[in-house]
Amino acid sequence: MSRTPHATDPLQQLATHWRHARTKKDPVADAVSLATCESQQPNVRTILLKKIDARGVHFVTQSLGEKGQHLASKPLAQICCHWPSLALQARVHGRVKPMPAEEVTAWWFQRDRDAQLLYWLSVPQSVPIPSFAHLTKAIAELRQFTRAYEIIPPTPSYVGYIIEPQWIEILKYGGKSRMSERTRYTKKSGQWCAECLAP
C-alpha cells in the first residue's frame, strides 16, 4: 500500500466529524468504546468523549476502577467512535497521558451534583455492591449531609486522560455494497501519513 505524507491532520478531521454528529443530534455522538489492557486480556466499555484537540482525545474516569488501574499499569488504549448520523466509524490508538489537573477540575464542575457525590462514596467502579437500592440510599444520605455546601470539591479519584494517537483510522460506510472507504493515518517523525485500507 502506498503512503501519502503530509496528510490532512486526522485529529482535526475527527473533531469536525464529532461536531457534525452533535449538530445532527446523533444520540451516541459523545459515546465511544474504550479498550484497555489487563495483562493479556482485552477490556472494553463505553465512555463519554470530552474533547478532541491537537493533543489528542480526552476523557475522564475514576482512578479506583478497572479503567484507572489498567491505564496506570499499561498506559495504552484504543477508542472506537460510531456515528450513525454520518455513516462513519473512527478508531484511535495511542499512548495515554494524564490530563492537566486544572482541566480535570474544570470538567468536575460541569458534572451533575449527584454525579459528583457518587465519586465521594469512594466505591471503585465495577466492584460488587449489595444492590442498586443500597447505592441510591447512600447517595440520598450523602445529598442530605452535603446540602449546606454550595459546591462539592473534586475527589482525588476523579482523573482525566488524553490519548496521544499513534494512528487514527476513519471508515466511511459504503452501504449495502460494503464498499467502505477506509483510511489509516499513522504518525511518522511528527508527520501524518495516510494509506487506503481494504474495506
Asked whether residue 105 is assigned to any structural domain, the reply reads yes
CA atoms of 147 and 122, how far apart (whole Å)? 19
Range of the domain at 125: 112-153
Asked whether residue 1 is assigned to any structural domain, the reply reads no
Spell out the residues 6+ positions from residue 6 whose beta carbon is closer than 8 angstroms to its own.
191, 192
Q: Could you give the number of structural domains in the chain? A: 2
Asked whether residue 5 is assigned to any structural domain, the reply reads no
pLDDT, position 71? 94
Specify the pTM: 0.89
Please name the helix (run of DSSP H) or strand (run of DSSP E) that holds residue 116, with its range, or none: helix 113-120
CA atoms of 95 and 199, how far apart (whole Å)? 26
For residues 166 and 71, membership in a common domain is answered with yes
For residues 162 and 102, membership in a common domain is answered with yes
β pairing state of 41-48 and 158-172: unpaired
pLDDT, position 7? 58
For residues 84 and 167, membership in a common domain is answered with yes
For residues 69 and 126, membership in a common domain is answered with no
CA atoms of 127 and 113, how far apart (whole Å)? 22
pLDDT, position 8? 81
For residues 75 and 171, membership in a common domain is answered with yes
| 84 alpha carbon, distance to own chain's centre | 18
pLDDT, position 4? 52
pLDDT, position 5? 44
For residues 97 and 171, membership in a common domain is answered with yes
Asked whether residue 165 is assigned to any structural domain, the reply reads yes
pLDDT, position 39? 76
| pLDDT in 10s for each residue of the chain, 199 residues | 445 544 589 999 999 999 999 999 999 999 999 999 987 788 999 999 999 999 999 999 999 988 999 999 999 999 999 999 999 999 999 999 999 999 999 999 999 999 999 999 988 888 899 999 999 999 999 999 999 999 999 999 999 999 999 999 999 998 888 889 999 999 988 899 999 999 8
CATH of the domain at 165: 2.30.110.10
Cell triple for 116: 459528583
Closest by alpha carbon to 129, among 121, 45, 143? 121
- DSSP string covering 15-67, please? HHHHHHHHHTT-TTSSEEEEEEEETTEEEEEEEE--EEETTEEEEEEETTSHH
Cell triple for 21: 454528529
β pairing state of 191-197 and 88-98: unpaired
Asked whether residue 101 is assigned to any structural domain, the reply reads yes
pLDDT, position 181? 95
